[in-house]
Amino acid sequence: MEELKNALNDKRLQVLTLPEKGRCLFTSRDFSPGEVIISENPYVSVPNKNKESPQWKCEWCFSLANLKKCSACHVVWYCSSKCQKSDWKLHRVECQALSKVDKERVKSLTPSIRLMVKLYLRRKLENEKVGSHVLTFFLCYMFPSTATENYKNVEALVSHISDVDEKQLVLYAQMANLVNLILQWPDSEINIKEVAENFSKLACNAHTICDSELRPLGTGLYPVISIINHSCLPNSVLVFEGRLAVVRAVEHIPKDTEVLISYVETAGSTITRQKALKEQYFFSCTCPRCIKMGQSDDIRESAILEGYCCKNSGCNGFLLRDSDDKGFVCQQCGLLRDKEEIKYIVSELKIMSEKASLSLSSGYINEAGKAYKMIEKLQVKLYHSFSINLMRTRETLLKVLITFKTLLGEVEEAVTSLTKAFDILRITHGIKTIFVMDLLSKLEEARAEASYKLRSQMED
């Protein structure tokens, strides 16, 4: 680990080990809002393919366009020869293993299985590079083992295997056996128990690779970034620029401060956040927000974020469940809100949400905008004004309206909305992501159109 510490020192970062937290990443200098603290390419990665994202994707860049299947293994897809060449470093050996898998077993190749297969193949190549003089030059070119890119960093990750329940352990063992069947290595080269433990490591440490609109594209293992701990009041944010994971400061971070990101949705209530952290990461957060759990301020915050609004439109109170379970009582004015009324609005919201999603996915922007406005109207009746659900709907509605207004030529309003969005996203996402560059392009077009309209009006 000394090599890793030295490499991070060059980036003005340091790894410290604290008794109550384990490894932590600290700054060795000040970082400004929007500044990149650290970035890392995945040690291994795979595109996601499941019910939520059923389309095939490019193995390297996760693109959906112009895909061609690998003619040898018939498992992996690429969008271009460039991506295929970039991935050939590892796929040349993975391809040999996958080509031997029968068609029925191929159907069982989940992203997690493939990620583990690639993990062990890469480890083997690194070991062979060290042990074989014949392969040294070739593999050194193919797999440059550096302080930040080597299997030792994977070994250092925490698995929490002792916290995993028996049912999940059985599943990990079954998955480990499948990996063994795919690789077909002798017992001296693979340990089933170790593979099972590594599946637990992936569950705690692998990251979902998302695009700039937080749509999941793939899964990657980033061993160095995995050192960064969680806080519900983070000073940094993790975003992805293609495959590259980038951690940016969202506030001024002084020297000798721990770098913290959030592993879960920070807008959720304390109970919701703690539940998610415990189930996936096996720890309870003790950040300044979480230590207030159960206190009056925390109860109020949770009720506002995830609860309902008072039936009296002039009251801004929050609601808690009635002791007789007849509904919810406003803690400010004492008015009872019947739970049957709430159920009715919730059912209306479900119908309208399905309609809005269908319109949006079909490209009917105008219809989608109308549907989301109706959803917003219903949610204003149901939720508190600071509700997470209302916030998410307004975020989606903003995107839809920006697109629609740009199409209609309502450039002044579009410029205002786009400018506000860009000012926020350039801090959290930087200016090199596809989404932000596209947003900047639209902003420049809208400004040019607004300038042209202004000149025309002055000439008239």
**What is the token pair recorded at 272?**
């919701």
Compute φ and ψ for 164, nearest 5 degrees: -75, 135
Pairwise CA distance, residues 159 & 197, whole Å: 6
pLDDT at 418 over 60: no
- SS3 of residue 460 by DSSP: coil
Report the pLDDT averaged over residues 159-187: 95
Report the pLDDT averaged over residues 396-404: 72
Q: Can you list the positions of beta strands (E) in 291-358?
A: 319-321, 327-330, 336-338
Report the pLDDT averaged over residues 253-272: 92
Query: What was the pLDDT predicted at 137?
Result: 47
Say how many C-beta atoms besides its own lie within 10 A of residue 344's C-beta: 12
pLDDT at 45 over 90: yes
pLDDT at 400 over 90: no
Confidence of residue 259 (pLDDT cuts 50, 70, 90): very high
Confidence of residue 102 (pLDDT cuts 50, 70, 90): confident
Provide CATH code, domain 1-36+222-280: 2.170.270.10
Confidence of residue 450 (pLDDT cuts 50, 70, 90): low
What is the SS3 assignment for 171-205?
HHHHHHHHHHHHHCCCCCCCCHHHHHHHHHHHHHH
pLDDT at 138 over 60: no
Most confident of 46-55, 121-130, 295-304: 295-304
Q: How far is CA 344 from CA 168, 350, 359, 371, in A?
A: 38, 10, 23, 18
Query: What was the pLDDT predicted at 144?
Result: 61
Pairwise CA distance, residues 292 & 299, whole Å: 9
What would the pLDDT profile of 427-447 be if each residue is shown by its tens digit?
A: 555 666 555 666 666 666 666
Where is pLDDT greater, at 108 or 83?
Answer: 83
**What is the token pair recorded at 43?**
């040690």
Pairwise CA distance, residues 59 & 196, whole Å: 24
Query: What was the pLDDT predicted at 426?
Result: 61
Question: What does pTM read for this prediction?
Answer: 0.78
pLDDT at 254 over 90: yes
Say how many C-beta atoms besides its own lie within 10 A of residue 193's C-beta: 11
| Percent of the chain predicted with pLDDT > 90 | 61
Confidence of residue 141 (pLDDT cuts 50, 70, 90): very low
Range scoring the smallest mean pLDDT among 130-144, 241-255, 349-363:
130-144
Report the pLDDT averaged over residues 67-79: 95
Most confident of 80-94, 299-313, 357-371: 80-94
Strand ordering across the sheet containing 327-330: 319-321, 327-330, 336-338
Range scoring the smallest mean pLDDT among 115-119, 179-183, 212-216, 381-385:
212-216
Pairwise CA distance, residues 355 & 79, whole Å: 32
Contacts of 400 (CB under 8 A, 6+ apart): 360, 365, 368, 369, 372
Let me know: does 47 contact 218? Beta carbons within 8 Å: yes
Task: Supply the mean pLDDT for the chain.
Answer: 86
Say how many C-beta atoms besides its own lie within 10 A of residue 86's C-beta: 16
Do the bridges between strand 260-261 and strand 229-230 make them parallel or antiparallel, or are there none, so unpaired?
A: parallel
260-261-263 Cα angle (round to 5): 135
Query: What was the pLDDT predicted at 244?
Result: 95
Contacts of 444 (CB under 8 A, 6+ apart): none
